[in-house]
Amino acid sequence: MNIKIEWVYKAKNGAQVVFNSEHLPAAQALMIVEDLMLTGRAKNIVLLDAYDSTWTVKELKKYVKEIASEPQNITIYFDGGFQKNTRQAGLGYVVYFEQDGKQYRIRKNAFVEGLVSNNDAEYAALHLSISTLEELNVHNSTVHFKGDSQVVIQQMAGEWPVYEKELAEWADKVDARLAKLNIIPVYEHVSRKQNEEADRLATQALNGIAIDGKKELD
């Protein structure tokens, strides 16, 4: 969960000015709030989450303590490869996250049949990646999804309309699974080079090479 801080700063001469922070990870926001309180010049501190719900410092402390051992700062790269002549597809995704002060990477892929287009495969890869969020018991978090498909990224971000029935169904399924986990998705388009790890996993799936691994990073 990300938190935005709003506060009034009161100078020695009595002048006041209102400040607003950007949305920050809950633990970082709490640290800054506690530091502001120590100055004695920050008044009327308001903490707002992404839904504009207000939190007290006590509530935020409790929340940060509860999620200390949960995955944080999650980023997912996804990609789908499609063979038109066989209607076979390879799906691949990589999940980066932090937990208990350590950084991890999960890599997975899957071979599927019966899809109808490359965009179909891209959506299938995005949808499949949510399975790992469920396995990690991720809830009430912001997750960054990165892919090299302009269509999928822009449609999921609400920037482009979804006309094709198959893609609309995929988009609805993705939204439903994320809503169930109370996850706020942030979609970002990246180049194929930036997405090469997920692309390689998708290609390996098409070639019959199954990948399912988790690694602690330095």
| pLDDT the model gives residue 191 | 97
Domain boundaries, the chain: 2-66, 72-217
pLDDT value at 116 more than 80: yes
pLDDT value at 11 more than 80: no
Higher-confidence position of 135 and 29: 135
Sign for the pseudo-dihedral over CA of 136, 93, 185, 156:
negative
Indicate the fold that domain 72-217 takes in CATH: Nucleotidyltransferase; domain 5 (3.30.420)
Euclidean distance between CA atoms 76 and 140, whole angstroms? 16
Q: Is the overall model pTM greater than 0.95, yes or no?
A: no
pLDDT value at 152 more than 80: yes
Percent of the chain with pLDDT over 90: 60
pLDDT value at 10 more than 80: no
pLDDT value at 68 more than 80: no
Mean pLDDT value across the chain: 91
In 37-189 the beta strands, taken as DSSP E runs, fall at 42-48, 54-55, 72-83, 88-99, 102-113, 142-147, 184-189
Euclidean distance between CA atoms 108 and 205, whole angstroms? 9
Are the beta carbons of 146 and 126 closer than 8 angstroms?
no
